[in-house]
Structure 1
Amino acid sequence: MSGEPRPRRSVLYMPGANERALEKAKTLPTDALILDLEDSVAPDAKAEARGRVAAAAAGGEYGHREVTIRVNAPGTPWHADDLRAAAEAGPDAVVVPKVDSPDTVRAVEAALEAAGAPDRTAIWAMIETPVAMFDARAIAGASERLTVLVMGTNDLAKELHAEHVPGRAPLLTGLSMALLAARATGRVILDGVYNDVKDTAGFEEETLQGRRMGFDGKTLIHPGQLEPCNRIYAPAQADVERSRRIIAAFEEATSQGRGVVTVDGRMIENLHVEEARRVLALAEAVAGR
């Protein structure tokens, strides 16, 4: 996997059965798209949506946006056909819901390769059950083709019999376990969706919480959520400037053989320099959008 950061601040679900939505997505300021064949598509529209989404993903008309396809879950009547169509379309990634074990990841990988998926087509695994939380590290490390974990917080709340409340206290254990798994295996991890599209203040509060916890970005269900999400997950100018000071001070101290470095009155170690370089790389990648 590349060490270069790819912005995934905002990852927007788009209904695969809605041709107008797929067209509109070409103009939206989102870092990535999930063209959906699962929850947003009725059973009798699955086949038609599959062809429409595959054509959209293969068309190359989404510019810098990372384009992924969410297939129907393993065990459903549509899963195998979805995987074959996605493999032929060759999107940036295939998003797989209800991943509960490493075996599921390996089965998806085998199916994609058998159908001729290009090497660049990654697997994004949705983890959304208690079983998945306990096995998150094994799931994340099951394949080099798996690059991203996606939190399915609605399903997790359902499985826990939990309520959606400000601060997400009932979900914090699962969110933290998944974050640990992602960082232990070097994977990207995306926070779950916020359901009330009219509650701007609540959305911003939850998005900020996710960023502070360590998520790389957030999945979204409405274009109106894009601006605050992109803003919150982009490095703040103050953080960029401090990162530059940290790197400059460390490099100067190293060249002079000094072992003690301070910036803004605080001791600086290698870990701070590594984080500063990550922040600058992400800021440059975002600026490139």
Structure 2
Amino acid sequence: MAAAGKTIRPRRSVLYVPGSNTRAIEKAKGLDVDSIIFDLEDAVAPEAKLDAREQVYQAVKAGDFGHRELVIRINALTSEFGRSDLDAAITAKPDAIALPKVNGPADLKLVSGILKAQGADPAIKLWAMMETPLAMLNAKGIGLSGLEDDVRLDALVMGTNDLAKETGVAIAPGRAELMPWLMTCVAAARAGRISIIDGVFNDFSKPEAFAEECAQGARMGMDGKTLIHPSQIEACHRAFSPGPYELAWARKMIAAFDDPANKSKGVVQVEGQMVERLHADMGRHLVAVAEAIEARNMAG
């Protein structure tokens, strides 16, 4: 979801690509995915991190990924690799830099301050990985950082595997135990007028269960889902794209309120249903999302 004045960018499918995997990086150029996170953190062994950093730097710097949004997930700044990862990412100029294990607004301000001091391209945004107990307790402050232009925060990404590890919570079908945190982060993202991306589904050999979790994420208000395998893209797009019926209904509501006869009305009747102006506003957003997806598809 875009804030007022922000361009809507589809983030239905966000694929993790290990920075050490040359073949996967090259293959990603042809995948029908909205966003790519080149991972220098969890997916890369310590002995491979330097080579992975250079490989991702060269790939992002060279471009050739078409419409795909490019994000580099660096190692934590507290690690031996983090600051050099950040410096390389700033020079490579991805669309965004994903920060692991963000615990509070101070972590975002620290990195945004470094970007400012280094004269980083203003177009480079920050994505916050929400994957620690402190992040859950500080979700409000992290999300509201999206309202501060100098912080550059553009999305929250749920790191459900790390969150389960840090808290001892089980990731069971339906995710009931995780639901309070997931919905808290949805509210935080909406308060900050930024995107929120759901966590990964670990077993890509279970497509039906994956599709259900995508549908669940869409019902919760997530903008998309992080993926670990290209086979998950199609189902993800189905879940997070407006359907024909939804769009048709949205356009009927919009038309009703655009009728000069209803200019001063807060409620109108559409096909026997009472519709408030806020529903028409929701419909306008839905249509805008659909148009952004169509524009992305046309871009190739």
**TM-score normalised per structure 1:** 0.96
Structure 1 residue aligned with 2:290: 283
CA distance in 2, matches of 1:84, 1:138: 26
Match of 1:216 among 211, 214, 223: 223
AA partner of residue 251 (structure 1): D
Q: Kindly tell me: are residues 169 and 116 of structure 1, through their superposed partners in 2, closer, same or farther at Cα, counting changes over 3 Å?
A: same
> 1:39-79 CA distances to partner (integer Å, 9 max, x unpaired)?
11111111111111011111121000000100002311100
Are 1:11 and 2:18 an aligned pair? no
Task: Indicate the SS of the match to 2:116.
Answer: helix
Q: Kindly tell me: are residues 259 and 88 of structure 1, through their superposed partners in 2, closer, same or farther at Cα, counting changes over 3 Å?
A: closer
CA distance in 2, matches of 1:78, 1:150: 21
Equivalent residues of 1:12, 1:33 under 8 A apart: yes
AA partner of residue 24 (structure 2): A
> 1:223-266 CA distances to partner (integer Å, 9 max, x unpaired)?
00000001110000101111110111111154565564111322
Equivalent residues of 1:57, 1:90 under 8 A apart: yes
Structure 1 spans left out of the alignment, 5+ residues: none
Structure 2 residue aligned with 1:138: 141
Structure 2 residue aligned with 1:232: 239
Are 1:190 and 2:197 an aligned pair? yes
Structure 1 residue aligned with 2:112: 109
CA distance in 1, matches of 2:85, 2:128: 15
Q: Superposition pairs for residues 22-171 of structure 1, below 5 Å? A: 22-142=25-145, 143-144=148-149, 145-171=152-178
Runs of 4+ in 1 over 3 A off after TM superposition: 253-260
AA partner of residue 110 (structure 2): A
Q: Kindly tell me: are residues 58 and 173 of structure 1, through their superposed partners in 2, closer, same or farther at Cα, counting changes over 3 Å?
A: same
CA distance in 1, matches of 2:246, 2:131: 33
AA partner of residue 194 (structure 2): R
CA distance in 2, matches of 1:98, 1:4: 27
Quote the sequence identity (%). Answer: 48
Structure 1 residue aligned with 2:183: 176
AA partner of residue 158 (structure 1): K
Task: Indicate the SS of the match to 2:29.
Answer: helix
The alignment's C-alpha RMSD in Å is: 1.4
CA distance in 1, matches of 2:60, 2:76: 19
CA distance in 2, matches of 1:192, 1:175: 9
Equivalent residues of 1:74, 1:98 under 8 A apart: no
Structure 2 spans left out of the alignment, 5+ residues: none
The count of residues paired between Structure 1 and Structure 2 equals 289
AA partner of residue 70 (structure 1): R
**TM-score normalised per structure 2:** 0.93
Are 1:265 and 2:272 an aligned pair? yes
Equivalent residues of 2:14, 2:35 under 8 A apart: yes
